[in-house]
Each structure stands twice: as C-alpha cells, then as structure tokens.
Chains A and B, each alone.
Chain A
Amino acid sequence: MTAAVRLAGVSKSFGKVPAVADVSLEVAPGELVALVGPSGCGKSTLLLLLAGLLEPDAGTIEVGGRLVAGPRTWVPPEERRVGVVFQDAALFPHLRVADNVAFGVPRGRERAARVAELLELVDLPDLGRRYPHELSGGQQQRVALARALAPSPSVVLFDEAFGNLDSGLRTSIREATVAALHETGAAGVFVTHDQVEALAVGDRVAVMRRGRFEHVAEPATAFHEPASRFSATLLGEADFVPGTGDGAAVDTELGRLAATPASTGAVEVMLRPHEVTFTPGGSAVVDRREFRGASYVYTLRLPSGALVRSIQPHTVDVPVGALVTAAVEAGHPVRAFPPR
C-alpha cells in the first residue's frame, strides 16, 4: 500500500540556521502521527514543507504516492491534496461558515451536499450561515477541520491546532478530530508541543529536536523506552537514578531493577513518578511535596543525594522530613542510559 506521506532526507535551512535537517518519515494511510518538540525545533517548518508553503533545500516529499517535491520536482500547494488546520483556524473572515467549508470543493451539484455532510461530521450542522467571528474558538477550529477535509485530502496537517483552546475544550475537540479523521480515512500529522496531546492523539509519536527526529515510535514505547534523555523528559516527568548493571539487571538504591537495554557497569535508570512508591521508615527523606488536587507528588532524597519523585493518591499524607523507603513498581523493564 502506498504511504500517505513519505519524507526522505528532507532539509531546510534559513540562512545558516538549519530548521529541518535530513528528516525521513513515512505515514501510512489513515495513520495519525504526532510531531512533538520544543518551540524552534523545526516541527512547524516540516509542516509547511509538507503543505508546499515552503520549498525544501534537499530531499524528496511524496504525498499519496506522488512525488511533490524533489530535486527537479515542485508541486504547488494547491495541487497537493494536503489539508491544513492552522493554529488560529485561519478561517476566511469575509466568508460564511458554509462558504469557508465549500472553498476547496469544486463547483458542482454535490458541493452543497458535501458541505452539509462535513458540518454534520464536525457536529455543527446549523451554523453554516454564521460568520467566523460569530463562533467560539472551539467551533472555529471544527469549521477549520471541516474545511480542510472537504476536498478529501489524503493527509491533514494540524499546526498546534488546539493550542489556543482551553484545556477542557481541547480534549473534546481533539477526540472529535481523531474520530472525524478515522471516519474519512485521511492520515493526520499533528504538530504540538504538548506531550499529553502527542501521546493521546498519535498512532506514533515523533520527537523532534534541532531539526532532527530524536525518536519515532508508538506512544507507549516512546514514553517507556525513550531513545534519549531529551525524549524522556519531553514526554513526561522523569528522574534519573544512578545504578550498577551486571548484564542481567541494575542495582540501585531502590532495589534491583530489570532494565533495557541490558547494561554492565555504571548506568542511570529513568524512573517516572507514577512508577515510584514508598513505605514508611527507611533512609530516604521526604524533601518536598506538591499538591495536585487528586494526588501528591513527593520528592524523595535518597541516601546518595539523588532526587526521585513519586506520585501518590491524596490519601497518602506524609509530612516533609519523614523517613521512607522507596521502591519501583514499573511493570516493565526500566530504561537505562549511560551515566552523564
């Protein structure tokens, strides 16, 4: 089956600053990929390259099996069948909602039906006659999605598309978007700097740093077995605890842990707060605790001085200064990194 999108060795720099450096990625039809990274990592540039709003310096881009950018090829955005949902929705302010959605649909008998169908899909069947400024932010974002889907693109790109919405709304729009994409069978590429969003939305997550992919994997793999410390901390809270490997497991202050990859000698293992538990009495000290509503995050100081966080339900109420013993309940081998 031909990929919805295929990038091979794509590079783009601005002056001397490389924004995207030798990036390769394949997105299967219907697959959703989240590009996550700090601001300035090149993820938005990559999106503009895909959409045809920027020209790459090197590499090839295919959309739906068709070469759209390469050494001697340049297909302009209007011929790429790539939908884009912009951060601020970018609805045409002078056009009604229905005209916005109809914008990319060829004139014809089916046009009105297509618009109605899409407004139905994004659950806004009655707002066709409104102007964009008469809609809420969430509604605008849904219209933008409907507009992008209307010409039946093989892939839809989302540029921080939910970033301007408040957190409750963001979740529901995100779910509606994923559902709509699955229904139409279009692939999706989501650019985001929000790791929760990246993990929730993507069939795969691509962690980007300084114009390169640091790790491309399924969300659970990326989260539990990050390719680098950078990926580890980008995708969630992480602490690094020193230990000594003997090829089979790693001995740490929190006990002997199964680790991947199998290591010998000095290593550091990554622990996420939800994997760390503790029991009263011992040689670790509660250094700090942070109240997060449903839970407490305890920061424990181990005898070596290393700090490790543990997230506990709010019913576990231990004062700062208490002595405890920390342990790990990961349910999977923990990730080991060479010591810094």
Chain B
Amino acid sequence: MTSRAGRRSSTVVVATAAALVLLPVLAVGIGVVTAGAAPWGRVADSGWVSLLGTTLALLALVLLGATALGAGLAWLTTAYRFPGRRALQWMLVLPMAVPAYILGLVWSSLLSFPGPVQTSWRAVLGDDAPFPPVRTLPVAAAVLVLTLYPYVYLLARVAFRSQAATPYGAARTLGLRPLQAARRVVLPLARPSLAAGALLVALETLSDFATVQYFGVDTLSVGIYKVWRGQFDRPAATVLALLVLLLALLLLGGERWLRRGARFSPTVHDTTPMPAVRLSGGRGWAATAACSGVLLLSVGIPVVTLVSWSTTTPLLGTGGSFDAGFLAAAANSVLLATQVAVVVVAVSLLLVHAARVDGRRRIALGVQATVSGYAVPAPVLAIGALLVLAAVAWVLDALGLPGGAGLVTGSVAALVVVYAARFLALGYTTTEARLAGVSPSLTSAALSLGASPRRVLSGVHLPLARSGLAVAGVLVAVDALKELPIVLLLRPFGFDTLAVRVWQLAADSRYEMAGLPALAIVAVAMIPVVLLFRGDDDVELVDDAVDVLPALEDPDHDVGLVGVAR
C-alpha cells in the first residue's frame, strides 16, 4: 500500500465517522424545512410551549442542584480533612453507576402512597396527615441531581487540585478565611471546569425522557417520545427534536461563554498541595455525614431496595423475575453492548491512527466533529437517524431492492449504528488518552524508517493503544447497556433490553419484578466506575509529598475524566 493510498483511506474513515454524527443532526434540520408548515399544527397540539417551559425549569433546577452539590462536595473533600475522607472522595463517584431511570424508579416507588415512607408517615402522624406531592418537577430534578452531580464533582476536583492550590494558599497568607478564599479565588479559577461539568449534566438532562415520566414531568424529550412512539408522527417529532437541538446548542454556547476566562488559567501545572484544613470534632463528623448522606440517597438505599425487591419475588416459576423475558432481555443487552463496543473500538483505533499519521487540518476537523457527538442529545440523534434511515429506505424502494421497510420500523443493525454514533466520542477520547503518553515522534520515527501507514497501525499504534482500547471497550459496552432513550425510540417491535424491561415494569408499577434487571444493570455499571476511580487518591500522595516526592500524577487518571467527558 502506498503512503498516499494510506492517507486516502484515513480520510475515508474519518469522513465516515464524522458522517455518523453529523448526518442525523443535519437530517433533523432538513426534515423540519422540507416538512413545511404541516407538522406545526400538531406540534402546537402537543403543547410545545408548556413542554419547553417545563424543560427549561427542569434544566435550571438540575443545573443549580448538580453544580452546587458537585462543586460543594469537591471542595469539602479537597480543602478539608475529616473522618473517612479518603474512602468517601472516590465513593462519591459511585452514583454514576445508578442510571437516572433506576434511581427514579426506586424513589418514586419508595415515596409513593403505598410505599414505606408514606406508610410510616401515616403511622406516626395519623391517616389524614398530608404528605407533600411526589410526582412533581422538583422531585424529578432531585433524582437527576443525585445521579448527575459526579460530572461536576470530578471536573471540579481536578480544577481545585491542579490549578487552585497555590492561589488558595496565597489568598490565605494574605488574610482570607477558607470560605472567603474559595469564593474570591478558587471559584473564579475553577469556573471553566464547573461550566464543562454543568454542560454534561445539562445534556444528560435534555436526553432523558424516561426518568421524568415517573414523576409526570413532560419535557420536550418526553414530547418527542410520545409523538413518535404514540402517534408515529415523524414530522412533528422532528420539529420537537429541532427544539431540543437548539437548546443543546444554546447550552454549548453558554458553556463557551463561561469558559471565556480560560485564557487566565495558569499554564504551569501546579504541584503544591492544597493546604487542607482538619475539621475537628463535630464539624468533621458533620462533613462525613453530609458525604455519606448523599451516598445513601443515591446508591445505598437504591441498591438495598433493589436487592430486597429481587429477593421478595420468587426467582423461578410463573411470576418469577428470572423468567424467559429477563433472559431474552439480558441476551439482547449483552449482544447489543458487545456489537457496539466492537464497532466503537475499531473505529476509535482507526481515528486515533488517522489523526497521528495524517496531520492535515481536515482530518483534525473530522475527528473533532466525531467527538462532538457527545453533545447531541439522544432523542435528537435517534430522530435524525430515523430520518436518514427513511431516506435510505426510500432509495432502496426506488431501486426495487428489498429491506427498506425494516430500516424504518427498527432494526438491531440501525440501533448499533446509532449507539456507535453516540459513544464514539467516549471511545475515541479514552483511546487517545491512553496513547497520549506515547510521543508523536514515535509515529514519525516509524514512518521515517519506511513503514507504511498500515504497518504503523498494526506494528506501532495497535500494540501501544491496546490497553486504551480495552478500557474504551468496557466503558462503551457498559454505557450501551445502560442506554435507554435511543433504544426506546428505535427498537424493533418486541425487542427488549434490560433497560427497556426495567422501564416497562416500572411503568406498570411492577417494581418487585424490575428489581432483578435493575440490579443487573447497576452491578455491571459499578465495574468501570470502581476500576477507574478507586485509584483516584494520587491527591493523597501529593498531599503527603510536598518536596519529598515531587508531584506524582497518575497518567491513568485522565482516562477516568475523559470517560466522563462524553
């Protein structure tokens, strides 16, 4: 293979990957334009103004809550010492393993009228004691906050540790108390990171339409689901998807605006330890209690509840939760997750390779477009993909070829492609982060020694990226297993995954039956969280080192972050 041919094939790979992400987005825009005025009346019937209002209110509450909770906990665990901090500082990431639709299911059940909370409420205060309404927007927002705050928490911690330690120390020596120094120095410096974390929270909130439905909250994404799955009204769904897309773009713009201060960020990597203050006595235990309380609400109580549900239902026999439906759903989940992981890992390797071998601007742009897929809310990606598939079906029909109909009514192949588009950013950044420690001059050296790009791929990049690819594969597979919005919108009739099964059983209020599949998802989702973040105590090493051991930065740490920043 000549070098030029190698370059051409890298262009093809990058262009294909970028198209996976960009085509659905473009299709939504084009779909709205070509549909003309027809769907707007039906969109108006769907009450889009109130949907938009609800969406904005939910976004505001979740953003506020997740930023305050994430940044607050990050500050507490970075600037203070209290009993159990070492363990708590990584355990606070665990809520990522409990998807919102499972946390929401648990709490909507626990807080429901026959649930344990209200039952004991009535037992204590009498049968007529009023209980605040549960199926409300604030409760839905609280559930989303409890599962999404780790995005802010992780990015804030890195910002506090890597940039804020010396300025914080300087502010203290200049006479500021810890909280004053935090407000006047640390917060302004960490603003770009907080904004990045908040953006991820906002995008996840926009994508969700399963969780909020438990609480009777109708957002735009819920509207998309109802209009498409209920009435098969593709044009109206497309218009709503465009609204969600515009919101996402606004959020991206907002994040850019908040990041404008990033030029101030010190370029020097700060290795000074954060002068952590020991909280003594009651205040220390209060800090421990605050962190433990968050964990209890977001992980502890949910897991215990799921376990008790799965054990109160008979496992086998009629009405058992370990039935044929569960097995089929589990098999579908595993199969889908594996296929998606394989596709994403392969494309990621080719992308990383292309970006290294070929320094042209268009390659970099293409890679960037691919990675921006994380910013496209899942319902938008799904509806856009649907439009693209419809166009392909139309072409197939026009050519007299078979298979077109299956594309529109849903196929597993289409699911794999759309999942891949959603998770390529995660796969690519994880692989790239692993390869980042490998000097680019290695690639140049191989090329200058006369190796063809293909030989560089098989002889240099593949072996060096192997660990990164394995991590990327695990992360993507787990995320695919958890994924709900896309599969709900695009699944073929009768195709259940574990996530779908949890959601359907929850919708039918058959909570006990949902226990086992939900527990299976949480258990699998714990694996990467524990693997990635348990070693996240390099901060302690730096704390303890000062000038004995010069700063130790765990290169693997980045992977965890990138895993988050999808």
Contact = CB atoms under 8 A, between A and B. Distances in A.
Interface of A: 14-15, 17, 19, 39-45, 48, 51-55, 76-80, 82-84, 86, 88, 90, 92-94, 103-104, 131-133, 147-148, 150-151
Given A88-B266, A93-B189, A94-B261, A53 B548 contact: no
Contacts of A88: 166, 266, 268, 270
A84 B171 CA distance: 10
B346 to A, nearest CB: 42
A53 B172 contact: yes
A76 B443 CA distance: 52
Nearest to B544: A14
Categorize the interface residue count of chain B: 20 to 34
13 contacts: A14-B544, A17-B548, A42-B547, A52-B172, A76-B277, A77-B169, A86-B166, A86-B272, A93-B167, A94-B188, A94-B261, A104-B175, A151-B174
Interface SS, A side: loop
B175 A40 contact: no
A219 B180 CA distance: 41
A40 B176 contact: no
Contacts of A45: 546-548
B547 A84 contact: no
Contact of B264 (A53, A133, A148): A133
Contacts of A86: 166, 169-170, 272
Given A148-B173, A148-B174, 13 more contacts: A14-B544, A19-B548, A42-B548, A48-B275, A52-B173, A53-B173, A53-B275, A83-B173, A84-B170, A84-B173, A88-B166, A92-B188, A104-B175
Nearest to A51: B173
B86 interface: no
Contacts of A104: 173-175
Nearest to A49: B546
B297 interface: no
B548 A78 contact: no
A78 to B, nearest CB: 5
Contacts of B181: 78
A247 B29 CA distance: 99
Given A43-B547, A92-B167, A131 B172 contact: no
B175 A78 contact: yes
A151 B172 CA distance: 12
A131 B264 contact: yes
Given A88-B166, A93-B265, A80 B547 contact: no
Report, nearest first, the 9 A-B pairs whose CB atoms are least far apart: A104-B174, A93-B264, A77-B172, A53-B275, A14-B544, A44-B547, A90-B166, A94-B188, A84-B173
Nearest to A160: B547
Contacts of B178: 76
Contacts of A19: 546-548
A154 B167 CA distance: 21
